[in-house]
Amino acid sequence: MMGVLEAPARLFYDFDLEAQVPANHMLRQVDRFLDVRVVHEALQSHYSHLGRPSIDPELIVRMLVVGYTLGIRSERRLCEEVHLNLAYRWFCRLGLDGKVPDHSTFSKYRHGKFRDSDLLRVVFEAVVARCISEGLIGGHGFAVDASLIEADVDRQNSSPQTEWDTDAINRDVAPRAVREYLDVLDDKAFGAATAVKPKFTSHVDPASQWTAARKGPAIFSYSNNYLIDTDNAVIVDVEATRSIRTAEVGAAQTMIDRTNERFGIKPDWLVADTAYGSAENLAWLVKKREIIPFIPLIDKSERTDGTFSRSDFEWDDDNERYTCPEGKHLVLTRRNYSDPRRKEPRKGRRKYRATKALCDACPSKMNCCPNTNTRYIAREEHEDARDFARLAAKSDFNSKAQAKRKKVEMLFAHLKRILKLGRLRLRGPCGVQDEFTLAAIAQNLRKLAKLRPQTTETRITI
């Protein structure tokens, strides 16, 4: 006789939701390190003591953490998964019969109270503070890098920059992403990052950058900037910018200063790729922040035609001159001024030259300047900082620092492949910053769960 499945009259007689979540479940491990008390503290002033109680903002934050930690990109699907999954219900403190909010609630909170109070930044910093208390951040060495994340934009829905007129935009009827674009026109991470205009501008998300930096078809994208501690690859700060070098370098400086301000941590050294090797950035690190840069220089002075490069000339800082391999001097000027102030070094790029007589009589002229009468060496305004970076690159520790830099690249790979943030879902600078911040929260929580697992002793303590 074929059996027929019949539902029991009572589904649960004695059901303990706590016991149904395995001890090694990711959310159980993450729950130990997520301090949501900061949510109520940050939003206290945004609620009245009268009226009907709202949906607990802690629930919204917990659901977002579930989505970004486990790679659930759609908020509609997230609501369905939380409704069905017992582990998700336990993490969100919903119990068995708690009502899951509608997916539209996320937008209302995100564009309202969360953004006004900068709540996601508060939660992120609380997680970083927990990493510090757990001893995962040494604060000795940092690494910084940026990764392109494709914007939620159709490439066909764009216009050439010559046809884009910001003065003609009506803010009253413009979409939210366009209004946010107008708000960041003077922000050094977006509109004021460079005077160079992109070739195309998107209609729905004009703050995104048209770029072909991926060595393939051009796309609209944003840059996700991470500043990490190299001891355990913990993200200490995150920033969203346009996908251009100047904006990414500016974001690195902003994150270093903000980390020092919020947590009192300033690294002894910083490692990055060549994009951060400009003279201005190196001078900022060395002179203003006293940070050792293990950064390859943006340097085009090395010659490949067999003639002497600038590195073959020795700089004499006391006399402010270069000495060539034949022992002759290249100076800025040979004039004697009655006013000594006129001989003070000028700002900007300076050229140090030898005389024609010296070069004509030099036996190494064909190896130095075969096609010109004299040889000159151009020295940047912050060449002393560049020289310091060259010395750092020659140190024994440089190879170790460059190896540690790969940790930030591994975080970006994890972000795109495991957390599935290869393409943005939200638009506008604020929405993009929210996504990057939530992703950084999720990665730090997963790092805490991995490096500080719950053992038998910790379970007894809890």
Q: Between these two residues, 408 and 334, which has the higher pLDDT value?
A: 408
Contacts of 177 (CB under 8 A, 6+ apart): 204, 205, 206, 207, 427, 428, 431
Structural element, H or E, at residue 26: helix 26-31
Topology of domain 139-161+171-294+391-429 in CATH is Nucleotidyltransferase; domain 5 (3.30.420)
Which pair of structure tokens corresponds to residue 344? 């003070």
Spatial distance between the Cα atoms of 182 and 174, rounded to a whole number of angstroms: 10
pLDDT digits (tens, 9 = 90+) for 115-155: 989 999 999 999 999 999 999 999 999 999 999 999 999 88
Question: Torsion over CA of 252, 254, 258 and 261, rounded to 10 degrees?
Answer: 110
Average pLDDT over residues 90-99: 90
For residue 20, the tally of other CB atoms under 10 A from its CB is 13
Q: 150 exposed, middle or buried (CB, 10 Å; 0-12, 13-18, 19+)?
A: middle
Buried b (16+ CB within 10 A) or exposed e, 208-232: bbbbeeeeeeebbbbbbbbbbbbbb
Spatial distance between the Cα atoms of 32 and 314, rounded to a whole number of angstroms: 58
For residue 139, the tally of other CB atoms under 10 A from its CB is 17
pTM to 2 decimals?
Answer: 0.88
Domain-wise residue ranges, the chain: 17-117, 139-161+171-294+391-429, 309-337+346-374
- For residue 317, what pLDDT is reported? 83
* Averaged confidence pLDDT in the chain: 88
For residue 135, the tally of other CB atoms under 10 A from its CB is 11
Are the C-beta atoms of 204 and 175 separated by less than 8 Å? yes
pLDDT digits (tens, 9 = 90+) for 419-441: 999 999 999 999 999 999 999 99
pLDDT of 462 > 50? The answer is no
Which pair of structure tokens corresponds to residue 292? 């050792």
Q: What's at 42, amino acid-wise? A: A
Spatial distance between the Cα atoms of 287 and 304, rounded to a whole number of angstroms: 32
Which segment, 82-91, 328-337, 368-377, is predicted with the most confidence on average? 82-91
Which pair of structure tokens corresponds to residue 194? 């460079």
Which pair of structure tokens corresponds to residue 114? 């969360």
Spatial distance between the Cα atoms of 125 and 39, rounded to a whole number of angstroms: 12
Buried b (16+ CB within 10 A) or exposed e, 48-82: eeeeeeeeebbbbbbbbbbbbbbebbebeebbebb
pLDDT of 103 > 90? The answer is yes
- The strand pairing partners of 142, in sequence order, are 229, 270
Show contacts of 322-329: CB within 8 Å, 24+ apart.
Answer: 322/352, 322/377, 322/379, 324/354, 324/362, 324/364, 324/368, 324/375, 325/364, 325/368, 326/362, 326/363, 326/364, 328/354, 328/358, 328/362, 329/354
Q: What is the 3-state secondary structure (H, E, C) of 36-68?
A: CHHHHHHHHHHCCCCCCCCCCHHHHHHHHHHHH
Q: Which single residue is written with the structure tokens 């070098």?
A: 245
- For residue 338, what pLDDT is reported? 62
Spatial distance between the Cα atoms of 365 and 354, rounded to a whole number of angstroms: 12
- The strand pairing partners of 224, in sequence order, are 147, 240
pLDDT of 347 > 70? The answer is no
pLDDT of 268 > 70? The answer is yes
Phi, psi of 321 (to 5 degrees): -160, 160
pLDDT digits (tens, 9 = 90+) for 180-207: 888 888 888 888 878 888 889 998 999 9
pLDDT confidence bin for 90, thresholds 50/70/90: very high
Q: 269 exposed, middle or buried (CB, 10 Å; 0-12, 13-18, 19+)?
A: buried
